[in-house]
Chains A and B, each alone.
Chain A
Amino acid sequence: MISLLLAAASAAEPSAALNIDWLGLLRTALACLSILAGLFFVLAGTLGVLRLPDFYTRLHAAGMTDTLGAELILLGLIIQSGFTQMSLKLLLVAFFLLLTSPTATHAIAYAAHKAGLEPKLGKYKAPSVDGDGS
């Protein structure tokens, strides 16, 4: 597939067959790296929501997805789009995310506290899975 595309490109422009856009390549690589790092934090946040014991502790894991996860993905998109108007818009999105996501988290936590949900306090350890696995 890729060799076909390369062949087509070199057929259309024989002299530019090996004219690789190094800067563009570097930018794409950086963008991919940033997005992958963001995805790692989103994955960790999801695992945290599944593993942690109660409502309040799960909020922390969800907050991880909101901050580094989303911001790193946005950073990757900004690198990908370069110095364009799109980058400025993405920067605005990133900034608004810094304002809105803690507000939403606080609203949920405050609602739970008002409704009288008691947080589990003190040390917590995951239950052992050494048994029969059921």
Chain B
Amino acid sequence: MRFAFILSLAMVAAWLILSGYFIPMILTFGAISIAIVVWMCSRMGILDGETVPYLSLLQTLSYYVWLFAEIVKANFQVVKAVLSPDLEVSPTLVKIPLNTDVDVAEAMFANSITLTPGTVSVDMQPDHILVHALLEEMSAPEDFAEMEERSAWAVGHKIGGAY
């Protein structure tokens, strides 16, 4: 019930942003559409914290701020490597251990790795992610451990103690 309410709120916001019309007919269409979607979701039994990840919205947003700073840093590293005349790169494959089996946390972590330029998650296994790094210094396991903790915290799960 709680998730149905939160999902409705999120969809009302999405409808208003995307339509921008506030005349009664369009608003009625919106209400009907949202009711149908929420009904279908509850019929499929997928109304839970995984499909409605808005309970930790503030954490997710603050995580994206941190991630964006990381992305900017990594971007400059990659730009420097790519534009230098010698093009000195040291491609590396590393296995990064996974400390969680929550799907959302794993997806968020792998997504963040790929989003950061210079590292791409190549293969997901139950206990590790195979990561391809452009520069050897980008494949330090400590950096990934911090990112994993933070990304799990962003979707409302906890690994380790820090976040």
Q: Which residues on A are within 8 Å of B, measured CB to CB? A: 41, 44-45, 47-48, 51-54, 56-57, 59-61, 63-64, 67-68, 71, 85, 88-89, 92, 98-99, 101-103, 105-106, 109-110, 113, 119-126
**CB of B89 within 8 Å of the partner chain:** yes
Contact A106 B91 (CB under 8 A): no
Contacting residues, chain A, for B117 (C-beta < 8 A): 60-61, 63-64, 67-68
State whether A124 and B120 are in contact (beta carbons under 8 Å apart), knowing that A67-B71, A101-B115 are contacts in the complex: no
Select from chain A the residue with minimum beta-carbon distance to B89.
A124
14 CB-based A-B contacts, threshold 8 Å: A51-B87, A56-B122, A59-B120, A60-B78, A64-B75, A67-B71, A68-B71, A68-B75, A102-B111, A102-B112, A106-B110, A110-B123, A119-B91, A120-B91
- Is B140 engaged at the interface, CB distance under 8 Å to the other chain? no
Query: What's the minimum C-beta distance from B51 to chain A, rounded to whole angstroms?
Result: 14
Q: Which of A61, A88, A109, A124 contacts B78 (CB 8 A)?
A: A61
- A125 and B84 CA atoms in complex are apart in Å by 10
Nearest A-chain residue to B64, judged by Cβ: A98
A113-B122 contact given A60-B134, A122-B90, CB 8 Å threshold: yes
Q: Which 10 A-B pairs have the closest CB atoms?
A: A102-B114, A126-B87, A48-B82, A60-B134, A64-B117, A68-B75, A102-B115, A88-B17, A109-B122, A85-B20
Name the distance in Å between A57's Cβ and chain B's nearest Cβ. 5
* Residues of B with C-beta under 8 A to A99: 111
Q: Could you list 17 further interchain pairs (A-B, Cβ under 8 angstroms) beyond the known A59-B120, A103-B111?
A: A57-B134, A63-B114, A89-B17, A92-B18, A98-B64, A101-B115, A105-B120, A106-B111, A113-B130, A121-B93, A122-B91, A123-B88, A123-B90, A124-B89, A124-B91, A125-B86, A126-B87
A18–B78 alpha-carbon span in the complex (Å): 46
Cross-chain contact B17 with A92 (CB below 8 angstroms): yes
Residues of A near B45 (CB, < 8 A) are none
Give complex CA distance A57, B134 in Å: 6
Tell whether, in the assembled complex, residue A85 and residue B82 are in contact, meaning their CB atoms are under 8 Å apart. Answer: no
A57 B114 Cβ-Cβ under 8 A: no
Q: Is B132's beta carbon under 8 Å from chain A?
A: yes
Residues from chain B with a CB closer than 8 A to the CB of A41 are: 75, 79
Query: Cα distance A101–B85 when bound, in Å?
Result: 29
Known: A60-B134, A64-B117, A101-B115. A126 touches B93 (CB 8 A): no
Report the Cα distance A21→B120, complex, angstroms. Answer: 46
**Option from A63, A89, A106, A125 in Cβ contact (under 8 Å) with B88:** A125
A105 to B110, CA, bound (A): 11
**CB-defined contacts of B79 to chain A, threshold 8 Å:** 41, 44, 64
